[in-house]
Amino acid sequence: MSSTGVGPLGFIKSRVNTAVCQEILEHFVLPSANELYGDADFIFQQDLAPAHTAKSTKTWLSDHGITVLDWPANSTDLNPIENLLGIAKRKIKDMRPKNAAELKAIVEASWSSITPQQCHRLIASMPHCIEAVIDAKGAQTKY
């Protein structure tokens, strides 16, 4: 996601290790970044999962010219994607898919219904979120 909208949704069928992480970056993140930003620079935000912080993943990101946001551990209140996922989950919470194909279709529909305006509002709310985390001395906030 970015302040201009969401990229395509990808479904991963395995655990995310370093190799899988780099495949996701190659096949999902780079095309999404190109679609959302074109030639403009961007800063990539990710959590500190081991696959994301592995030396080879850091090298991969650097080799592809991707600037990564320095990020504190355990900071979900500061990650707008968490709120976006909450929006998507609320849209599908009462649906009862009968099989995996129906579930996938429901998730895809929920994701594609997210508007650029919703994404922009989440990104624009970040200064308030940061202020709340500082005021809470790093404890959980309403965000």
pLDDT by residue (tens digit) across 12-48?
999 999 999 999 999 999 999 998 888 898 999 988 8
Q: How far apart are CA 23 and CA 10, in angstroms?
A: 11
Q: Does 143 have pLDDT greater than 70?
A: no
- The reply to whether 10 falls in a domain is no
What CATH code is carried by the domain that includes residue 79?
3.30.420.10
Q: Does 141 have pLDDT greater than 90?
A: no
- The reply to whether 7 falls in a domain is no
Question: What does pLDDT average to over the chain?
Answer: 90
Q: Are 88 and 110 in contact (CB under 8 A)?
A: yes
Q: How far apart are CA 109 and CA 76, in angstroms?
A: 25
- The reply to whether 98 falls in a domain is yes
Split into its structural domains, the chain has a count of 1
Domain that holds residue 54: 18-135
- The reply to whether 6 falls in a domain is no
Q: How far is CA 129 from CA 15, 68, 95, 122, in A?
A: 30, 20, 31, 10
- The reply to whether 44 falls in a domain is yes
